[in-house]
Chain A
Amino acid sequence: MTALPIPPGAAHDERSFWTTATTIKSWLVTTDHKRIGILYFVATTSMLFLGGIFAIIIRLEHLTPGPTIVSAETYNRLFTLHGVIMVWLYMIPSIPAGFGNFLVPLQIGATEVAFPRLNLASFYVYVIGAAVVIGSLFAGGVDTGWTFYAPYSARTPATVLPTLIGIFIVGCSTILGGINFIVTIHTMRLRGLGWMRMPLFTWTIYATSIIQILATPVLGIALTVIGLDHTFDWGLFDPARGGDPVLLQHLFWFYSHPAVYIMILPAMGVVSEVIPTFAHKNPYSYRAIVYSTLGIAFVGFLTWGHHMFVAGISRFDAAAFGLLSMLVAIFSAIKVFTWVGTLFRGSIELAVPLLYVFSFFFLFTFGGMTGVAVATMSLDVHWHDTYFVVAHFHFIMVGATFTAFLSAIHYWFPKVTGRLYARKPALVGWALVTLGFLVTFTPQFLLGNGGMPRRYYDDPVGFSVLHVISTMGSWLLTLGMFVVLGVIVHGVARGAKAGPNPWHSRSFEWRTASPPPKRNFVGPIDFNIGAYAYDVADEP
């Protein structure tokens, strides 16, 4: 039997990164990637709950036709801020900056990222940007939708500028973080650890970082010109002065489509780690997952016009974007089939992280296929700006990404905290979240297909039943999220001690203590046995 190289005594290392310094100041000026990851995790998860509050109110408004609890003006601001907060303050940074920061150096056998102080700076830039966005709430918020389309974004009486500035600042954090990860993965890998032996989660952080640094600047320009138009009446998209609102949409979507791959690729990375661990089997094809990851990142830049099919773009562009959009689905399908192939004939353990992955499979497939559906131009003419699109992207954003986020929490919980969560309440949380999600968003496909427009304050006659069901689902989903929160808090406070590798995973982050020491690994690091070498028997 070949033993996995875990240092002796690593199980309960007294000097974990938590205990080396315990003052608040030590956390605020830390350059330890693990602590920065936790700081990001706490910050972004708080934003998740803030954005969730807006979602609850939106759904409450739809309990009855006509006014229910807010005015139409407020409703517009609610869905705008819900989108802004969820996309930029939660979904984009959450898995990469939270889990990515914690795990990537561990997964490549490094002690730190390439630029630790830049890493800390990136976090504070994020905090400042988030504070500005939240501050803009008190200035009355924005009512343009998170897409800030011209010319309304220039003409609206709402105070757009603070929100734009806040998002711009957060974007800078994204770019700095992306540079750090790319350089880290290129230059800080353990000697002898080639690209094609890296854990798959790190590959997805790499691809995500490439998208981040290339796409975000375009958003910066889009936000800047909207701000200039609104604040100084530059009229760049004012038709009366020769402006073309569709050009703004080109800029916005050139970023925002790759942005959705920033959100989903890390989630896919989580899935690629959880499945081999709980199937106790190596991936069906490591290369297929790597190449499809890079493929999604590349092709994702070529498809932005499918958000503009009915905006008035040329027929040539519409055809080009429609065709290119289909290519992305191929890579996603390769991943799904590879994951299923990994599970096939595996020795499956129904751990909570894997259950979340099963939810992911179901919801991602539905969400992805409805994505192919709306990318079909002739169908999109009917569905554009209806609840069908809303349901599609929530299936991917919540059904897939958020589910993977919860899987990641449960999977790496022992690694970060050194403790185990309670399984039964975690199961309840999983069931409530999955069920709540389905009840919330499945009716929205039917609403949209039936013609219910999105961003509408009022519900036309005949849509009420579906809206009520959807709202009730949102309560179930919220309950599930609070159960999960309770599981985490309880686990941190009173969970049973976990060993270095409670899941018997082969991946590299499990080859050190849980929680890891400050410098990540004690003694010489041996990654000769691969991250997915499940043919090697574990040492009990």
Chain B
Amino acid sequence: MSADSDHFESVAQRAQAVRLALGVFLASETLLFTAILALVVGYRATWPEAFAFGVHHNTKVLGSINTVVLLTSSTSLAVALEMLRTGRRRVATALTLFTAACGVAFLAIKITEYEHHFAEGIYPGGRGAFFVAHPIAGLPAFWTLYFLATGFHGVHVLAGVGAVGYRAIRMPDATEIHRFEATALYWHFVDLVWLFLWPLFYLA
């Protein structure tokens, strides 16, 4: 064992510590998005018409493509983990890089969506021509929350691309597989969050 972890008695203990740390971290992250969801719940209840209107005018096709992109990326990462467990490192590396690429694609599509919103005159804070054309009470709240939620989520995707990409380059060996599992847990969590943001802002 390396000197920085000689306080652990065994690899197994270290692996257990890393996995638990991720579990605790993800619990923390759950609360981060809970706070944003609380605002969504509060404002949806206050302004149902505005939210329905906002959802209807959102970039549903692009948002849905992004959903498929993230689901694909989670699948590829899950398969990559299995490949790593069975010793097929090359395939695992390729799939992990593919996952990172999906993350990049997600962000690219997201930026495209934002550009579309700006072109329509939709900016955070209820500024823009769209709000002048559609003076619906509560509509600014919908769009500002949309930017807040997808913005926070996007930052997490970006961090995930970095983590997954790093993992692809530094593929751990069989004794350190918990490092890969930890990265994968984070990426799947980011996917999970999107699974709920998508219906709330694009579908209903």
Contact = CB atoms under 8 A, between A and B. Distances in A.
B139 A242 contact: yes
Interface in A221-242: 221-222, 224-225, 228, 232-236, 241-242
B21 A221 contact: no
A178 B138 CA distance: 38
Contacts of A224: 148
Interface stretch (A109-117, A399-407, A432-440, A464-472): A109-117
A315 B138 CA distance: 24
Interface string B113-143: 0000000000011110000000001111100
A458 interface: no
A188 B140 CA distance: 50
Contacts of B38: 247, 250-251, 254
A221 to B, nearest CB: 4
A169 to B, nearest CB: 15
A192 to B, nearest CB: 13
A201 B25 CA distance: 23
A56 B36 CA distance: 38
A241 B35 CA distance: 20
B111 interface: no
Contact of A115 (B13, B16, B17, B152): B17
Contact of B125 (A186, A216, A222, A241): A241
- Of A31, A216, A218, A221, the most chain B CB neighbours within 10 A belong to A221
Interface residues of A, number: 41
Contacts of A179: 21, 24-25, 28
Contact of B126 (A117, A178, A215, A241): A241
B7 A232 contact: no
Nearest to B140: A241
Nearest to A255: B35
A176 to B, nearest CB: 9
Interface stretch (B42-50, B63-71, B164-172, B196-204): B42-50
A218 B31 contact: yes
Interface string A169-190: 0000001001100110011100
Contacts of A214: 27-28, 31
B144 interface: yes
Contacts, number: 111
A73 B152 CA distance: 35
B34 interface: yes
A220 interface: yes
B39 interface: yes
A400 to B, nearest CB: 27
B126 A235 contact: yes
Contacts of B138: 242
Contacts of B152: 221
Given A179-B24, A242-B139, A247-B39, A220 B124 contact: no
Contacts of A495: none
A244 B43 contact: yes
B181 interface: no
Interface in A500-530: none
Q: Is chain A's interface secondary structure helix, strand, loop, or mixed overall?
A: helix
A312 to B, nearest CB: 13
A243 interface: yes
A213 interface: yes
Interface string A245-278: 0010011001000000000000000000000000
A451 interface: no
A224 B31 CA distance: 14
Interface in B139-162: 139-141, 144-145, 148, 152
A244 B13 CA distance: 48
A226 to B, nearest CB: 12
- Of B16, B21, B137, B139, the most chain A CB neighbours within 10 A belong to B21
Interface in A389-420: none
B20 interface: yes
Contacts of B13: 187-188
- Of B28, B36, B145, the most chain A CB neighbours within 10 A belong to B28
A222 B35 contact: yes
Given A214-B28, A218-B35, A220-B32, A236 B148 contact: yes
A182 B16 CA distance: 12
Contact of A114 (B17, B39, B144, B145): B17
B126 A221 contact: no
Interface of A: 31, 110-112, 114-117, 175, 178-179, 182-183, 186-188, 213-218, 220-222, 224-225, 228, 232-236, 241-244, 247, 250-251, 254
In the complex, the 9 A-B pairs of residues with the closest C-beta atoms, listed nearest first:
A221-B35, A217-B32, A242-B138, A112-B7, A241-B140, A242-B141, A218-B35, A217-B31, A213-B28
Interface of B: 4, 7, 13, 16-17, 20-21, 24-25, 27-29, 31-32, 34-36, 38-39, 42-43, 46-47, 50, 124-127, 137-141, 144-145, 148, 152
